[in-house]
Amino acid sequence: MNQIKLPPFLKPGDRIGIVAPASVIKYEDILGGIDIFTNQWGLQVREGKTLKTAFNQFSASDDERRSDLQQMLDDPDINAIIAARGGYGCSRIVDELDFTRFLENPKWIVGFSDLTVLLSQVYNLGYVSLHAPMAKSITTYGGELAAESLRQLLFGEMPEYNVKPHILNREGEATATVVGGNLCILNHLTGSKTEIDLDGTILFIEDVSEYLYNLDRMMIQMKRAGKLANLAGLIVGQFTDMKDNKEPTFGKSANEIIQEHIAEYSYPVCFDFPVGHVGDNRAMGVGMQAKLTVSSESAGLQFLSTVPAFI
């Protein structure tokens, strides 16, 4: 793959699009996010049709969701596309999307959870995207730092994150391309056209509401598929609302399960990183270069300044 490029950074007055490419959204749930984008960040917002429609658990039919997103991808006046929410549905439409005009006028794609599908697709096309708060989640309690981190990356300011040490951390340093997202989705993409080559990267993972035995199965799948052996580093985010069998229990926590399956490798590992289905869900540049430093005192991730491909 060619060197990853950055879309143009935003500036006040730029126009962003908001769409719901996956699950249905209540329009009132994104009004706070729209207020942040417009009144605090000085952006113009174009609303997609899927923000006010519903089709069973989806925001609209596959064709309607694809068409709504396609219009935003094609529009040269849209500088970023921010998902309203995740849920499920992006993998149903990703193969029918046409990125021809996107490649002519690259723009930021922003989201997390199910949006890992689209972030991975954009990465394979050679462009950076943002695993970051969406229009609904950006107003989540405790998310002020996460919202600011998204603003920083969209406007060309490179953030640096520092977290407390964790007993399971593995010390070391790595400077490499950051990739990753929702662990379930990364497993789901294995073997598909949207699969990401993880060799030599700093991988970050997170998930929500999974059974612990299924987390174990996903880590085994990643390992058997050769996804864990050649990483430059690993960032373990938040695994929230995890479930366990009543009896007998699985016997390990989420972090302990992950640690077991990476124990034989030597790259640096940071646990309990602020990324995932939580308020403090820091923006991560998928495809950006960053330096991961893990020591006995702290762990840090510093995104490195780069120049956009199109100015």
* 311 residues of the chain, pLDDT tens digit each: 457 999 999 999 999 999 999 999 999 999 999 999 999 999 999 999 999 999 999 999 999 999 999 999 999 999 999 999 999 999 999 999 999 999 999 999 999 999 999 999 999 999 999 999 999 999 999 999 999 999 999 999 999 999 999 999 999 999 999 999 999 999 999 999 999 999 999 999 999 999 999 999 999 999 999 999 999 999 999 999 999 999 999 999 999 999 999 999 999 999 999 999 999 999 999 999 999 999 999 999 999 976 555 54
Mapped onto helix, strand or coil, the DSSP state of residue 180 is strand
End-to-end CA distance of the chain: 22
In terms of C-beta density within 10 A (0-12 exposed, 13-18 middle, 19 or more buried), how is residue 254 classed? buried
Residues 6+ positions from 136 with CB-CB distance below 8 Å: 25, 29, 30, 33, 84, 85
Q: Among 253, 291, 290, which Cα is nearest to 272's?
A: 253
Residues 6+ positions from 27 with CB-CB distance below 8 Å: 51, 52
Range list of β-strands (E), 30-182? 44-47, 80-83, 108-111, 129-131, 160-163, 172-182
Residues 6+ positions from 58 with CB-CB distance below 8 Å: 22, 23, 24, 65, 88, 89
HSE toward the beta carbon, residue 186, CA cutoff 13 A:
26
What does the alpha-carbon distance between residue 119 and residue 298 come to, in Å, rounded to a whole number? Answer: 29
Find the helix or strand (DSSP H, E) in which 204 lies.
Answer: strand 202-208
Alpha helices in 49-115 (DSSP H): 62-74, 100-104
pLDDT score for 309:
54
Find the helix or strand (DSSP H, E) in which 124 lies.
Answer: helix 116-124
- The pTM of the whole model exceeds 0.95: yes
Q: Among 292, 278, 258, which Cα is nearest to 178's?
A: 292
pLDDT score for 129:
98
Mapped onto helix, strand or coil, the DSSP state of residue 202 is strand
